Chain A
Amino acid sequence: MQIPPEVRARLRSLRFGTRFLANGLGLGQHLGRSRGAGLEFEQYRSYEPGDEPRRVDWKLYARSDRFFVRDATRESPLCVWVLLDATASMAQADRSNPKWSKLAAAKQLCACLVEIAAAHGDAVGLIAITGGGIRLIPMGSGARHRDRLLLELEQIESAGAWPVEARLTSAWERIEPDSLVVVISDGFDALLPVFAARLAAARRQVISIGLVSREEREFPFVGGYVFRDPETGDECRVDAAAARTDYLARFSESRIDLRRRLGASGIPHVDHCIDEPADQPLRRLLGGSRWEQGSARAAPRRA
């Protein structure tokens, strides 16, 4: 999966925020929520029985006659699961660029996420959900794992409709608590928000990117058309120009509804038009000050 050079350049400034940290397993490059011994000063706290004597700040003891222990932030690794919707509706493409389907755009987003994770030593796994079943590439990190992921990504093809809940059990089992789940879909399947909400409720951090094609967003059709739903096969025979207003109203309403439903479960959601650069939704989801604790490193809070 090719990432355009300018997008790749902009990816460098992106990283997964501390909110998504795994629970203190191993050493990573992210500022951890758990504190302890380490290089970066985080805070002072009062001595408790059991603390090692060498962690007591003796200079502070000399000034205040009380025992304080220096806490440092722990740098932790992050687990990122990319949940890719590969149902038949993801094959939708604009007629102006028929090869650039939503699935292709989603693959590029995946590749970007994998690159971001690889750049910061985070572990990435991929779950592609098609009508036929689940394709799962287990969690891993490093350059070799990244290459394997990108290779596997190429072979994913869209088919079928969103599977029933029971078939998603293996995905359930793999996604461990406190990992970050990035859902990339078109948001048309009603079951997907339900699945995402359940993940969020079970202590997984979920963020969602909804892909929209330009034709879906602007409906530039004129004349008689028979529109066919690729998943259900339903056909709708309309005069496009006349149906436009009604369609646009219902479509934007459905997008707002989707964002509201996800937001209710604490899942941030952005819509991404597939002919826009891939780093845009990532910047809005990852780059915002909402989760990125960049200031913590530069100016540590002092007690």
Chain B
Amino acid sequence: MIALLAPLGLAALAALLVPLLVHLVRRSDEQVLPFAATRYLRERHHPRERLRLHEPLLLALRLLLIASLAVLLAIPAWRHKQAPAAPWVVVAPGVSAETARAAQPAALGEWHRLAPGFPPLAANAPSDTAAFSSLVRELDAQLPAGTPLTLIVPEELGGLDAERLALAHTVDWRVVGGASPRPAAPSADAAPLPLAVRYDAAGAAELHVARALAAAWAARGIPLALDIAPQDATLPAPPAWLIWLAGPLPPAVEDWARRGGRVLASRQVTDLGEAVITDDNGAAVLRARELGLGRSLSLAAPLQPAELAVLLQPEFPQTLFALLSAPSREPDRAAARDVAPRSFGSAPADPVWRLDAGVALWIAVLFLVERVFSTRRKVRA
């Protein structure tokens, strides 16, 4: 079905008057012909003054050209009409299959997991809670209009974003007990937190500061499993902390951080991330950057009091600890009952293909034909 995305563009159809006028105005050009027998003609029959259009074919071409331009301005699009599919029941992460089936009074249709690709419920899909809102919007855009949709979500829902969900489909929002799985985050529980320190030749001089930091944190009652090794030693599995004293962060370490690690690195030349601590001149001393599930803190200077005046401040270890242990994300959890999606219902979200390119090509061809016609040799009868 062809639709116009900007119907006001059709106002350009008013320009159709221009070629009409042009072809009308030229109606009165009469041929002057030397004719020896003029004396036998009488001026009784004047040329008829009825409205005549010269070159109707050329006029039709020009009208078509302008009409096509107006259609182009109105942005034509092909709207793919989809038949409503069977009802979908989509289960959010954090709700087990059994709970979901129990919550649903009757099996209404296909059961899917809310995961990339929307696999069937039976499939053992990885539960990534990171993008609940995004996945729901994708589902909304993908499903044919009019498909009944049921979402089964846990009471404590994670993976939300700042925008309240507003969907084209009317959603049956069912809340069951449970909570979305949390992303793995460092927590001060009984198990000691692995704290790795990796250094190179230059970084060896900074080791004592690293030890002092660990001691300062341990003194605040945080159990730490300290692991000091040269830079190529293996890293503990994330979530873990790392103090990197070996120059620029290699990609392997960045990948490690993305999987949930927290890194404090010295001697970093970077302008990535937000300047958390600045010196008196406004230059960034410490930058913090989110890396996947983890975070990296970059110190511009070596981890030495001579180079890093801020080290001498008594509250620095505490500040650093807060930065390293802070939750890695914006708050994305809420009670599911409070974030039931709104429906803007009326607009069906059929997929749309814009036809601008085709129409523009058509206009170019029309223009060429019009030029050929209007400049061809005039053969008068």
Which A residues have a C-beta under 8 Å from some C-beta of B?
A: 89-92, 102, 186, 188, 213, 215-216, 221-231, 234-239, 242-243, 246-247, 250-251, 254
Tell me which of B32, B33, B40, B48 contacts A239 (CB under 8 A). Answer: B48
A227 to B39, CA, bound (A): 10
Tell me which of A186, A228, A246 contacts B38 (CB under 8 A). Answer: A228
Evaluate contact between B40 and A250: CB separation under 8 angstroms.
Answer: yes
B45 at the interface (CB under 8 A from A): yes
Evaluate contact between A236 and B38: CB separation under 8 angstroms.
Answer: yes
A-B pairs with beta carbons under 8 Å apart, 5 shown: A91-B34, A91-B36, A225-B32, A227-B35, A251-B37
B315 at the interface (CB under 8 A from A): no
Tell whether A242 pairs with B38 under 8 Å between CB atoms, given A226-B31, A228-B32: no
* Max count, chain B CB within 10 A of own CB: residue among A213, A216, A227, A243: A227
Query: Which residues of chain B are within 8 angstroms of A92 by Cβ–Cβ distance?
Result: 34-37
The 5 closest A-B pairs by CB, nearest first: A224-B47, A242-B45, A89-B36, A224-B30, A229-B38
Q: How far is the CB of B164 from chain A (nearest CB, A)?
A: 72
Q: How far is the CB of A301 from chain B (nearest CB, A)?
A: 48
Tell me which of B28, B33, B37 contacts A225 (CB under 8 A). Answer: B33
A237 to B35, CA, bound (A): 12
Tell me which of B28, B36, B48 contacts A186 (CB under 8 A). Answer: B36
Evaluate contact between B46 and A239: CB separation under 8 angstroms.
Answer: yes
Evaluate contact between A216 and B33: CB separation under 8 angstroms.
Answer: no
Tell me which of A229, A237, A250, A254 contacts B36 (CB under 8 A). Answer: A229
Query: Which residues of chain B are within 8 angstroms of A235 by Cβ–Cβ distance?
Result: 32, 38
Q: How far is the CB of B189 from chain A (nearest CB, A)?
A: 101
> Which chain B residues (14-73) contact chain A, with CB distance < 8 Å?
28, 30-48
Query: Which residues of chain B are within 8 angstroms of A224 by Cβ–Cβ distance?
Result: 28, 30-31, 47-48
Q: How far is the CB of B172 from chain A (nearest CB, A)?
A: 75
Query: Which residues of chain A are within 8 angstroms of B40 by Cβ–Cβ distance?
Result: 247, 250-251, 254
A246 to B42, CA, bound (A): 8
B381 at the interface (CB under 8 A from A): yes
A239 to B52, CA, bound (A): 14
Q: How far is the CB of B53 from chain A (nearest CB, A)?
A: 14
Query: Which residues of chain B are within 8 angstroms of A222 by Cβ–Cβ distance?
Result: 381
Number of B residues near A (Cβ < 8 Å) is 21
A227 to B34, CA, bound (A): 6
Evaluate contact between B45 and A243: CB separation under 8 angstroms.
Answer: yes
* Interface SS of chain A: mixed
Evaluate contact between A227 and B381: CB separation under 8 angstroms.
Answer: no
Evaluate contact between B37 and A228: CB separation under 8 angstroms.
Answer: no
Evaluate contact between A237 and B31: CB separation under 8 angstroms.
Answer: no
Query: Which residues of chain A are within 8 angstroms of B34 by Cβ–Cβ distance?
Result: 91-92, 227-230
Evaluate contact between B47 and A229: CB separation under 8 angstroms.
Answer: no
Tell whether A234 pairs with B38 under 8 Å between CB atoms, given A223-B47, A239-B45: yes
Query: Which residues of chain A are within 8 angstroms of B31 by Cβ–Cβ distance?
Result: 223-226
Evaluate contact between A236 and B43: CB separation under 8 angstroms.
Answer: yes
Q: How far is the CB of B75 from chain A (nearest CB, A)?
A: 44
Query: Which residues of chain A are within 8 angstroms of B381 by Cβ–Cβ distance?
Result: 222
Tell whether A226 pairs with B45 under 8 Å between CB atoms, given A234-B38, A250-B40: no
Residue of B nearest to A186 (CB): B36
Q: How far is the CB of A232 from chain B (nearest CB, A)?
A: 8
Evaluate contact between B39 and A247: CB separation under 8 angstroms.
Answer: no
Q: How far is the CB of B263 from chain A (nearest CB, A)?
A: 91
Residue of B nearest to A245 (CB): B45
Tell me which of A91, A186, A230, A247 contacts B41 (CB under 8 A). Answer: A247
Q: How far is the CB of B31 from chain A (nearest CB, A)?
A: 5
Residue of A nearest to B37 (CB): A216
Evaluate contact between B41 and A239: CB separation under 8 angstroms.
Answer: no
Query: Which residues of chain B are within 8 angstroms of A247 by Cβ–Cβ distance?
Result: 37, 40-42
Evaluate contact between B47 and A239: CB separation under 8 angstroms.
Answer: yes
Query: Which residues of chain B are within 8 angstroms of A238 by Cβ–Cβ distance?
Result: 41-47
Evaluate contact between A246 and B47: CB separation under 8 angstroms.
Answer: no
Tell whether A243 pairs with B41 under 8 Å between CB atoms, given A225-B31, A226-B31: yes
* Max count, chain B CB within 10 A of own CB: residue among A90, A92, A216, A226: A226
Query: Which residues of chain A are within 8 angstroms of B47 by Cβ–Cβ distance?
Result: 223-225, 237-239
User: Interface 1/0s, chain B 277-291, versus A by CB < 8 A?
Assistant: 000000000000000
Besides the known contacts A213-B36, A239-B45, 7 further A-B residue pairs in the complex with CB atoms under 8 A apart: A92-B34, A227-B33, A228-B38, A238-B44, A238-B45, A242-B48, A247-B42
Q: How far is the CB of B29 from chain A (nearest CB, A)?
A: 8
Tell me which of A90, A215, A234, A237 contacts B30 (CB under 8 A). Answer: A237
Query: Which residues of chain B are within 8 angstroms of A216 by Cβ–Cβ distance?
Result: 35-37
A90 to B36, CA, bound (A): 8
A215 to B33, CA, bound (A): 12
Tell whether A228 pairs with B35 under 8 Å between CB atoms, given A222-B381, A237-B30, A237-B47: yes
Evaluate contact between B44 and A246: CB separation under 8 angstroms.
Answer: yes
Query: Which residues of chain B are within 8 angstroms of A213 by Cβ–Cβ distance?
Result: 36
A15 to B41, CA, bound (A): 39
Evaluate contact between A227 and B38: CB separation under 8 angstroms.
Answer: yes
A141 to B261, CA, bound (A): 128
Q: How far is the CB of A248 from chain B (nearest CB, A)?
A: 9
Evaluate contact between B48 and A226: CB separation under 8 angstroms.
Answer: no
A108 to B43, CA, bound (A): 35
Tell me which of B37, B41, B46 contacts A188 (CB under 8 A). Answer: B37
Q: How far is the CB of B369 from chain A (nearest CB, A)?
A: 27
> Which chain B residues (347-377) contact chain A, with CB distance < 8 Å?
none
Query: Which residues of chain A are within 8 angstroms of B48 by Cβ–Cβ distance?
Result: 224, 239, 242
Query: Which residues of chain A are within 8 angstroms of B32 by Cβ–Cβ distance?
Result: 225-226, 228, 235
Evaluate contact between A229 and B39: CB separation under 8 angstroms.
Answer: yes
Q: How far is the CB of B216 from chain A (nearest CB, A)?
A: 106
Q: How far is the CB of B163 from chain A (nearest CB, A)?
A: 70
A286 to B283, CA, bound (A): 122
Query: Which residues of chain B are within 8 angstroms of A246 by Cβ–Cβ distance?
Result: 41-42, 44-45
Query: Which residues of chain B are within 8 angstroms of A226 by Cβ–Cβ distance?
Result: 30-33
Evaluate contact between B38 and A243: CB separation under 8 angstroms.
Answer: no
Residue of A nearest to B32 (CB): A226
Tell me which of B28, B33, B45, B46 contacts A228 (CB under 8 A). Answer: B33
Query: Which residues of chain A are within 8 angstroms of B41 by Cβ–Cβ distance?
Result: 227, 236, 238, 243, 246-247
